[in-house]
Amino acid sequence: MKNQSSYLLLCAFTLLSMSLFAQKIRITEAPEDYQLYARDSSNTAEVLISGNIKGTPDFKEFSLKVFKDNVLYNTQKDSLVDKQFSVSTEINSGLHEYRFEFYIKKNNVDSLYFSADHVVCGDAYIITGQSNSHASSSLSTYSNPYCRSFGVKTGYETYNDDDRKVRWGMATGNLEGLDGVGGWFKKNPFGVGAWGMELMRLIVEKHQVPVCIINGGSGSSSIEKNMLYPEQPSLETSFGRLAYRVDQAGLKDKIKAIFWHQGESNSVSVESYQGYAANFDVLLNDWKRVYTSLEKVYLFQIHPGCGRNPESYLSEMREVQNKIDKKYEMVNIMSTLGVTGHDGCHFSYDGYLEFAKRIYPLVARDYYNEKFDFTITPPKLLSANYTGSKKIILNFDQSILLEEKREVNGVVHYLKDQFFASEDSNLEQMPLEVKRVDVKDNSLILTLKKASNYKFITYLPSKFYVGTRDIYNGPWLSGRENNIGALSFDRRPITQLKD
């Protein structure tokens, strides 16, 4: 593989060098084949080639030739200083590939010492979490020379010596030998997942900027499994393996944003979901400490489902995610509710494409100055109010659309039956007896069958349709402008208002 050859070249420097010099020259920094350099605010990146000479040098001059799209772009010549050499150049972002050729001059002859090809300048992101963060698909056949990744997505497996040899390459949403969607526990060189690949496509094609995504997802992992735990060797943890790859790629201080899809595994017990917010605080602080340029975290609110245990706290978990979004300005939440192709835990290939379609506008707004003439965020509940004893009005931050009913496994389910209430936040919630549901602009109006005095309200069951073992999959509330499923909420207070 070309990327492996580049790595060996940079370590041993024998493949394209003269044997006379191989034992004398030590290169400490240089580009690699297929490398992405992160662009700065001026839309450029500096590429540095530096090193030193062991022993007595038998040459004094060196030169660098830079080719942009196979056309000579820049030439620099210089001389050794105290057995040291260093030369740098800037490259521009955009759909351009660069080649670097480093020459040593002896006896008035320039000899090629090493080269690095297909180098680009663009943006770097991380995707991580559990299985829905890194699902591969055999239908994800798209490839683009400006979509890059680094190293091997390993999941829980040890990062071995062969994995370390895998350096830069073209990103893939597929996995060798895969039929359908999956790859939850398989090693995958340059694997970014199906929706990660689609997100890259949208950015590259619409904004003409090369993109690197490094995906560190681990199937079925809890938030605890994704945390740092500095007392353990770094390559023994999911966090450590991801950080190792990002560091080796030279991007630890260049990551713009992290996409985080995780939470199903923390919905299995009271202790797990109640400790999630504190664990996320720790995780976020470690992300910011390790990835010093981090600006945004895009958090996906999880879908009902996953896990073999019929007891679950998915509704509570989704509300924890709502609160994380509210707590941190740098965190933006995106809904997975109403995404097509949900099979009870994972999604179809088209469903993962919809992940990318939903999250792309937020990224385009934040990093590519793209403007939208429609709302790009999921509907969020702002307030719940009684207007009389038989009517509750739910106010959202945008105009909403009502799906009245949906048939699942031969049974018709109605949206009016997907609301639950209690008189105390610590009490078990009961189905809210709703006579009818109406929509008016940003408001959902629940007309009750009888007078009530509930204090708290929830939208959507935790996992199953009431009285069944069928995982909930609609009907949904959604944004009228964007068709994004409204974020579910749990035990929100209901305020008493006068008629």
E strands, 186-273, in order? 188-189, 211-215, 255-261
Domain count along the chain: 3
Domain edge (last residue) among 118, 139, 170: 118
> Is pLDDT at 65 greater than 70 in this prediction?
yes
Tell me what the mean pLDDT of segment 17-27 comes to. Answer: 59
Specify which residues 257 forms β-bridges with. 125, 296
In angstroms, how far is the first alpha carbon of the chain from the final one?
72
- For residue range 72-82, list pLDDT tens digits in order: 999 999 999 99
Asked if 113 and 124 sit in the same domain, the reply is no
pLDDT for 425 equals 84
- For residue range 147-182, list pLDDT tens digits in order: 999 999 998 888 999 999 999 999 999 999 999 999
Domain edge (last residue) among 79, 95, 118: 118
Domain hosting 103: range is 2-118
Asked if 114 and 201 sit in the same domain, the reply is no
Asked if 132 and 109 sit in the same domain, the reply is no
Asked if 114 and 125 sit in the same domain, the reply is no
Is residue 375 in a domain? no
Q: Which of 236-245, 353-362, 418-427 has the highest mean pLDDT?
A: 353-362
Asked if 310 and 220 sit in the same domain, the reply is yes
- Say which residues have a Cβ less than 8 Å from residue 279's Cβ, sequence separation at least 6: 223, 224, 227
Per-residue DSSP letter, 7: H
pLDDT for 10 equals 46
- For residue range 380-429, list pLDDT tens digits in order: 999 999 998 899 999 999 999 999 999 999 999 999 999 999 998 888 89
Asked if 201 and 54 sit in the same domain, the reply is no
Is residue 373 in a domain? no
- What pTM was estimated for this model as a whole? 0.94
Least-confidence region, from 140-144, 212-216, 493-497:
493-497
Domain edge (last residue) among 103, 118, 133: 118
CATH number at residue 99: 2.60.40.1930
Mean of pLDDT over the chain: 93
pLDDT for 350 equals 98
CA 96 to chain centre: 25
Asked if 151 and 209 sit in the same domain, the reply is yes
Asked if 93 and 234 sit in the same domain, the reply is no
Least-confidence region, from 39-43, 44-48, 71-75, 225-229:
225-229
Asked if 161 and 264 sit in the same domain, the reply is yes
Q: Output 468-474 pairs: Cβ under 8 A, ≥24 positions apart.
A: 468/411, 469/310, 470/408, 470/409, 470/411, 471/304, 471/305, 471/342, 471/344, 472/304, 472/305, 472/418, 473/304, 473/342, 473/406, 473/408, 474/338, 474/403, 474/406, 474/408, 474/413
Asked if 328 and 394 sit in the same domain, the reply is no
For residue 11, what pLDDT band results from cuts at 50, 70 and 90?
very low
Asked if 283 and 196 sit in the same domain, the reply is yes
Asked if 336 and 294 sit in the same domain, the reply is yes
Is residue 30 in a domain? yes
Is residue 376 in a domain? no
